[in-house]
Amino acid sequence: MGYYNKEQVLQYARQENKKAEDRNLKPLTPIEQTISQIDTENEVVGFFWVNVTEGEKMKMEGKTFIRVDFDLYTDDRFAIDLYQAQEESTTVSNIIKERIKEQEKAASEVGGDVEKLESKIKETIKNKKSE
């Protein structure tokens, strides 16, 4: 479990943004959005990108940070679940159970052929870049 100040969250986002740019990929979260979230002291701050580099396993990179207090953020999974539970007026247990259910559903829909799905996503992204 980590705790971070604003500058550390921004540093993380900038480093991840550079990784995405170095691989010629477009982040799912524009760096400007993350900077704005920090500047306006949003309760939830995040930065994400999808690694679709040829020859590597495809995976989403990034983090979500929850604002705990002025200049104090955490990326702790329980804190994020607690925040979501409060927003949805439910329990942390319900949030966790629902996430597990969604993960199982997604896995069953993929049908176990993750490599085929990855190659299809990579192909789609390549086609969009060439348009």
Q: Is the pLDDT of residue 42 over 70?
A: yes
Structural domain tally of the chain? Answer: 1
pTM tops 0.75, yes or no: no
Compute the distance between CA of residue 27 and CA of residue 73 in angstroms, rounded to an integer: 22
Compute the distance between CA of residue 107 and CA of residue 102 in angstroms, rounded to an integer: 9
Residues 6+ apart with CB under 8 A from 47: 12, 13, 16, 17, 27, 29, 31, 34, 62, 63
**Which of 2-16, 43-57, 96-110 has the highest average model confidence (pLDDT)?**
2-16
Residue predicted with more confidence, 127 or 95: 95
Band of the pLDDT at 53, cuts 50, 70, 90?
confident
- Residue 117: which domain range? 3-130
